[in-house]
Structure 1
Amino acid sequence: MKLLSIIAILLCTLGANAQKVAVLKYGGGGDWYGNPTALPNLAQFCNEKINTVIDATTETVAPGSIDIFDYAFLHMTGHGNVFFTAEEAENLRNYLMSGGFLHIDDNYGMDEYLRKELVKLFPDKELKELPGNHPIFSYHYKFPQGLPKIHEHDNARPQAFGITHEGRLLLLYTFESDLGDGWEDQEIHNDPQEIRLKALQMGANIVKYAFEH
């Protein structure tokens, strides 16, 4: 009964803070702080195009902190090592099962480390590739071919993986796409405007899905 009461309180907290977003500050030595202009630019785009009211100031939160329940959407990125303690994994799992959403965007080089840490979060759930007809690819903007390719690294196709629970996508992992680079200020990577627009539109789909599910 006590656990149910705690979860109910956390659900109410997520509802009250439905349009707050943050960058996940994880351990292990990886550069969780990569792409510093990405989330503010995505928030601004969403506010202008899909009528959100997100604070564009970048906030950070640790996976083991109860403060993660203040945010409906967490964004995680980096190039290298990722590590969750048992306590952090439990807190993140409770957050996601209580209605939260985590988007992980491989900035190139975190895949081999990340996958083993996701097993800590959900040892009984499989990280599966999302089909091109998944609703997240057409939730507001249409991407009939699935996840767009933003930056080239290994000449591999972009892939979106997810973990779901009772039909709800609660964790999205974007790989070989590098959406976050496309969200950054234009002068950082000098991406063409049409590429940046694809990245921001796909990001808006993710944010809208997270807020409404």
Structure 2
Amino acid sequence: MRKMFLLWLVCPVLLNAQEIAVLKYSGGGDWYGNPTSLPNLARFCNQNINTKINPKTATVEAGSPDIFSYPFIHMTGHGNVVFSDNDVINLRNYLTSGGFLHIDDNYGMDKFIRKEIKKIFPDKELTPVPVSHKIFQGPFLFASGIPKIHEHDNKPPQALGIFVEARLVLLYTVETDLGDGWEDQEVHNDPREVREKALKMGANIINYAFNN
């Protein structure tokens, strides 16, 4: 994949395009929330979009050089987030050299994460990802954009992004709770069709991260 070659050029870590990870961050927020989410998403992708992702997903710290080993990193939580100066530099280098970060507000992260994103990209604004964007077009079609999985404040779901040279490098999903929909069924007792909708959108995100 082209993006993986770009990452390899800037980091000596040998990359495996089929590995994904959870981002560990400082500030006190529960970065470890939704522990069954990524393993379930990995299995769904392997079964439905021909990936070979290791379901035993890794954990990587925001300031670690190991971040460059993963084409897709997922971040979630309910509370405070703080990126150090080193975290900011590391994340910016990762994202501008081919990496992809999906931040999924698990409810309560929004007021903290926006200022931390601004530290990474002070010259850019989070902008709505249009429904015409390829991340909503396949492998599964989401003609109305990001789906609503869990209700919190009776607000519409949003998919916001940071673009670098027209490439979506950071996807921030808020008022949707995709990660809750990826969890084991008994965690939230979501209907099958709700979980399937969340997993299909997750597969689209993985597909975009791996191929763009």
Q: Please, what TM-score do these two structures have when normalized by structure 1?
A: 0.94
**Map of 1:17-166 to 2, 5 A cutoff?**
17-166=16-165
User: How many Å separate the matches in 2 of 1:11 and 1:103?
Assistant: 21
User: How many Å separate the matches in 1 of 2:152 and 2:35?
Assistant: 20
User: How many Å separate the matches in 2 of 1:139 and 1:82?
Assistant: 31
Distance 1:12 1:207, change over 3 A: farther
Give the length in aligned residue pairs.
207
How much identity, in percent, do the aligned residues show? 65
Which letter does structure 1 place at the counterpart of 2:73?
Answer: L
1:21-53: CA deviations, max 9, x gaps? 000000000000000000000000000000000
Aligned partners of 2:24 and 2:60 also within 8 Å: yes
User: How many Å separate the matches in 2 of 1:22 and 1:76?
Assistant: 9
Q: What stretches of structure 2 of length at least 5 have no aligned partner?
A: 1-5
Q: 1:195 maps to which residue?
A: 194
Q: Deviating runs (4+, > 2 A) in structure 1?
A: 6-14
User: How many Å separate the matches in 1 of 2:81 and 2:30?
Assistant: 9
Distance 1:47 1:7, change over 3 A: closer
Aligned partners of 2:159 and 2:174 also within 8 Å: yes
SS of 1:96's equivalent in the other structure is: helix
Distance 1:71 1:44, change over 3 A: same
User: How many Å separate the matches in 1 of 2:181 and 2:172?
Assistant: 16
Q: Please, what TM-score do these two structures have when normalized by structure 2?
A: 0.94
SS of 1:83's equivalent in the other structure is: coil
1:154-180: CA deviations, max 9, x gaps? 011000000011111000000000000
Which letter does structure 2 place at the counterpart of 1:27?
Answer: S
Higher mean alpha-carbon deviation, 131-140 vs 143-152, is at: 131-140
Q: CA RMSD in A?
A: 1.4
Q: 2:3 maps to which residue?
A: none
Find out whether 1:181 has 2:174 as its counterpart.
Answer: no
SS of 1:23's equivalent in the other structure is: strand
